[in-house]
Chain A
Amino acid sequence: MSAVTESAAWRGSARVLGWLGISGRTLVIAVPMLWFLVFFLVPFFVLGRISLAEVIIARPPYTPLFERGPEGELEIIAGLQNYRFLFEDALYRNAYFSSIRIAVISTVFALLIGYPIAYYIARSPEPRRSILLLMVILPFWTSFLLRVYAWMGFLRREGVINNMLMSMGVIDTPLVMLQTDFAVLIGIVYTYLPFMILPLYANLTKLDDAHLEAAADLGASPMVTFFTVTLPLSMPGIIAGSMLVFIPAIGEYVIPALLGGPDTLMIGRVLWDEFFSSRDWPVASAVAIVMLVLVVAPIMWLQSIQNRRELD
């Protein structure tokens, strides 16, 4: 298409839109805005609505929130009964607490394992730096489900770890590792480790060597320099990485389903079973709303860090 006819066509369509009172600018904003409104924001309102309904055997399997009474008057039959149920039933309470506990512990371990790696990569010269970074990202590109599955082969009774320890004579009877909370922790740390390393790396590469040299010149040992200079300066990276591990870990389903035992309680799993096994959509929605409340604060925190980074 030649530039002349192209611009003529654009000018023509711009004139039509202008006549309708819509500028091209508005149109460009509208496309992503509408998509995310309809398919991201509105679903939460639907979720909230259905969490107030009651389960029935019908299609759809929940009651309407309003009903016409015998006189044709509108009756509200929505209620908080699902939420009351969640708070009174020990299963749900324990599931929420246990999810938070598992998510916190795995975030701490991801930080302890991820920080040295991120630090080392950030201080490495090229091309070692690019190669190591690629090696951190590579597992992230391979299937999440298959990486969790790999741990099933590693941790089970006749698994790689037990075989190795038994053949070395370290243990006589195989250790029970699969189907425990320990396996769930390993699975979460393992799959979310790149999410911890990448923001830390991004933060640590910006670390100005002058700060470290100044500390050394003033007689600080490497240890003191690390705890008084490097660590405080990398706080935004630590927070971002921790939130990127903590938030998805709270709602994790696949890892507890494959690596956890029957008594591994996590809220994502409870929600899944409520929906797929009990077919109770209203209770599943209430579970999701309470989970949403748990993750909203960390999400806002993450966004405020990102906004600050944009301003830098």
Chain B
Amino acid sequence: MGRGWFLPMAVVAGFVFLYAPIISLVVFSFNESRLVTVWGGFSTRWYGELIRDRQILGAAWISLQVAFASATVATVIGTLAAFVLTRFGSFRGRLLLTGMATAPLVMPEVITGLSLLLLFVSMELTLGWPAGRGLTTIIIAHTTFCAAFVAVIAQSRLRDMDESLEEAARDLGAGPVRVFFDITLPVIAPALVAGWLLAFTLSLDDLVIASFVSGPGASTLPMVIFSKVRLGVSPDVNALATIIIGIVTVSVIIAGVLMRRRAARGG
């Protein structure tokens, strides 16, 4: 590799590729003109239109509810899966659980979405539950793939963690439940927060799976955005994108600073 210039150039080009479309998205959200990519002067009118758009606001509320519920349940299930896989040694079905807890990470979304919908329809026919599709079915679907992400994060933390703490607590007579709640959980808590946040973001972002398992009256934000942008670019979507990018950037930077501070303290 021509050390002098090739590597830095390639890295700069790579980051331009990553960020240029996002920056143009933000810039044109402040464009007066409806022609998204022709500059017609600075304006915040699209933000105004966004706030008055009841369909988008309603969908955003549904998405937030789904994301909150599925991230929370996914954190519980993902943590249990990670704990079982890192602390329980060998048990029957271990390989099966490993596979089932990692395959959702990469499974093409159309397959996951269609197969879950068919499951829900069959369950409704045979068991009478879930009655129809809507919030509940989206939450179950999102919980499943989010739990796999939480499990990965929690597993790597559990593996890095010094197990002598847990052993010491056991030697002092603490039962397995107390060891988990008093020692393990506090140590892995930051990883679980990271896992919850990732699950929340992934759920907010999902279009394909939600489209399959959702029912009438339960359109999530990505579903509404998708039906809008399918018809072409529209400036109020740019405004919405800018708000989302702003929130994400600020939270990721705050999280990064907090983590650096923890690392500096040696925690």
Contact = CB atoms under 8 A, between A and B. Distances in A.
A146 B81 CA distance: 32
A29 B256 contact: no
A149 interface: yes
A251 interface: yes
A78 interface: no
Nearest to A302: B106
A138 B252 CA distance: 7
Interface residues of B, number: 94
B43 interface: no
Interface residues of A, number: 92
Given A142-B244, A144-B205, A41 B100 contact: yes
Contacts of B6: 116
A11 B173 CA distance: 14
The binding surface of chain A is classed by DSSP as helix
A12 interface: no
B172 interface: no
CB-based closest 7 A-B pairs: A251-B108, A43-B115, A32-B81, A150-B21, A116-B10, A36-B100, A43-B119
Given A24-B177, A136-B18, A142-B245, 5 more contacts: A36-B144, A39-B141, A50-B118, A147-B22, A154-B21
Interface of A: 3, 6-7, 10-11, 24-25, 28-29, 31-33, 35-44, 46-47, 50, 60, 113-114, 116-117, 119-120, 127, 130, 134-139, 141-147, 149-154, 156, 158-160, 163, 190, 193, 222-223, 226, 243-244, 247-248, 250-254, 257-258, 268, 271-272, 275-276, 281, 284-285, 288, 291-292, 295, 299, 302-303, 306-307, 310
Interface of B: 1-3, 6-8, 10-11, 13-15, 17-22, 24-25, 28, 35-38, 77-78, 80-81, 83-84, 88, 91, 93, 96-104, 106-112, 114-116, 118-119, 121-122, 125, 140-141, 143-144, 147, 151, 159, 175-178, 201, 204-205, 207-208, 211-212, 222, 225-226, 229-230, 232-233, 237-238, 240-241, 244-245, 248-249, 252-253, 256, 260
